[in-house]
Structure 1
């Protein structure tokens, strides 16, 4: 059976809610500008943090950053500034200094939306054949609509980036949404069929469970829908959330999708590294965005 974007959208219950800014506070930081936003996404008010270059003129490239999970529900979008123990630092300032406008929003159950548990939110949606992952992806799409509408953003040069849960959100979103020009994802790319066979799937949160998805799609087949748009995959060789057999199965499916344009697919495997960002990953991601988002400016 041919794997199509339209069919994945049906399974995810994909839709793009309206997004509007209802509040914004801008402050200048050391080498960048921070905006704290309140977005109206559907019926919910959602906090967003946005970093941007100092003294930017005109439209520039942008990144939609999806925050991670890590078992800490208090941080959410603040990861963009505060970082996490498995990140080098908050990526927002570094991306701003490199010339990117970067937006991150609180996912359901995280940050200022930590008023309901992940389990409770997931169960409520699963009863209706929906998923928390689907809700998150719909909200990421709304955030992308807002980001693309900004006067300082070139809507044709928007990339997606994430670590761990943010990795999953980034490549699923890019698979569904062709407005994302390029995507880089770190430390969470593995086929769930192999994860389930070994029991490793239980290391992931219930937010990832999509009813019936594995009957038609696994991670590699989802990420394959991004082709031929540029994609970078970074993993640690010893990451328990990306076991070798599950990663290999996903990678072979993804690699096959880029046979007609292999130069658009990049892979970095860090030997002896677990579930964490490394300096080499950070440098590679910045190079990747420079190559595809900055180069497009002069194309």
Structure 2
């Protein structure tokens, strides 16, 4: 088979770029009136296409029904294993870590995990083997432990599709996730895994707001890879997030999801009709956002991350020139992993600590 008769992907992509303009291209903000109107309209539309609007409308008022399974004490903090209701019959399993030292209420850090079979367990240091521990620590993925050591309350949850939130059919076969199967079902009902995961984060914030030992006026969200994507979209669609630190995910859609093989959970139907990834940054601005990325990340190539960040910086400078320093890119000298070096100083600064 000769190359000439294979599908012409490059030409196809050119056709799409030329015929599908982005409705919320940030350079067209004047078409929407001003930045605030652009944000309101864009956020509403993105809430719709992810299915989040439908989920919220149908499950608003559902009792959280929190239940505690166990409480364990460690040096410097206690860990509560808990569940709350997300949808009827669907619970979110999570660990709540509370520092033993200092005076509450404590600022909150949400730590959604990436594409690892054991989900939240790795982030809280509940390793199943020496090999898992070695790999996690090499990639600095014990993020919940890092956060509680900083003196923050932490919620480390299973992201929908993984570990306790995976389907039995995939779990018993030892598969990493149920992303593809859950995404297919979500698509058929006008929903997406991104929308469902953002909804879950919102329910966890709702629960945190009930606790007197947590300060929900200061909420950071940070995770790596798929957890970075959850962090990014949660901050864009839930304005209760104060500081957003996505790791190993910020790029352009053209340079990542459409350029490198990726899990189906990264896909939102019609997304490019609305905006590129850097346009979505405009829904986070001017709140502080730190994008953490490895220069050798092959899943989200650094050249496209730098391109996206250049646009993000323009958005911050245009929206609130005196707050342009709220938008940063930290480049780690490695691959697709977490880089904590800049994360905690950034969060500490913007929490006012």
TM-score, with structure 1 as normaliser:
0.89
When structure 1 is superposed on structure 2, of 81-90 and 135-144 the one drifting more is 81-90
Q: What is the DSSP-based 3-state SS (H/G/I as helix, E as strand, rest coil) of the residue aligned with 2:254?
A: helix
Contact 1:31 1:93 in 2 (8 A): no
Contact 1:185 1:234 in 2 (8 A): yes
* Shift in alpha-carbon separation, 1:217–1:54, aligned structure 2, 3 A: same
- RMSD of the TM alignment (CA)? 1.9
Q: What is the DSSP-based 3-state SS (H/G/I as helix, E as strand, rest coil) of the residue aligned with 1:99?
A: coil
2: CA distance between counterparts of 1:67 and 1:264? 24
Superposed CA deviations along residues 21-74 of structure 1, whole A, max 9, x for unmatched, are 1234221112211111011222212210111201443312111111111xx32x
Contact 1:20 1:146 in 2 (8 A): no
Q: What is the DSSP-based 3-state SS (H/G/I as helix, E as strand, rest coil) of the residue aligned with 2:124?
A: helix
- Any unmatched runs of 5+ in structure 2? 1-22, 25-37, 126-132, 171-177
Structure 2 residue 191 is matched with structure 1 residue 130: yes
* Corresponding position of 1:26: 71
Q: What is the DSSP-based 3-state SS (H/G/I as helix, E as strand, rest coil) of the residue aligned with 1:66?
A: coil
Task: Tell me by how many angstroms 1:187 deviates.
Answer: 0.9
2: CA distance between counterparts of 1:30 and 1:196? 41
* Corresponding position of 1:81: 124
Structure 2 residue 342 is matched with structure 1 residue 284: yes
1: CA distance between counterparts of 2:91 and 2:149? 29
* Shift in alpha-carbon separation, 1:143–1:11, aligned structure 2, 3 A: same
1: CA distance between counterparts of 2:310 and 2:141? 31
1: CA distance between counterparts of 2:156 and 2:203? 12
Query: Higher strand proportion, which one?
Result: 1
Q: What is the DSSP-based 3-state SS (H/G/I as helix, E as strand, rest coil) of the residue aligned with 2:290?
A: strand
Structure 2 residue 308 is matched with structure 1 residue 270: no
Question: 1:150-189 to 2 correspondence within 5 Å?
Answer: 150-189=211-250
2: CA distance between counterparts of 1:163 and 1:20? 29
* Corresponding position of 1:236: 294
Task: Tell me by how many angstroms 1:102 deviates.
Answer: 0.6
1: CA distance between counterparts of 2:283 and 2:350? 18
1: CA distance between counterparts of 2:340 and 2:242? 19
- For these two proteins, the number of residue pairs brought into alignment is 285
Instruction: Select the residue among 100, 112, 131 that pairs with 1:54.
Output: 100
2: CA distance between counterparts of 1:107 and 1:23? 19
Contact 1:32 1:93 in 2 (8 A): no
Structure 2 residue 266 is matched with structure 1 residue 208: yes
- Any unmatched runs of 5+ in structure 1? none
Superposed CA deviations along residues 200-248 of structure 1, whole A, max 9, x for unmatched, are 1x1x211111111111122111122100001101111110122134213
- Give the greater-gyration-radius structure (CA): 2
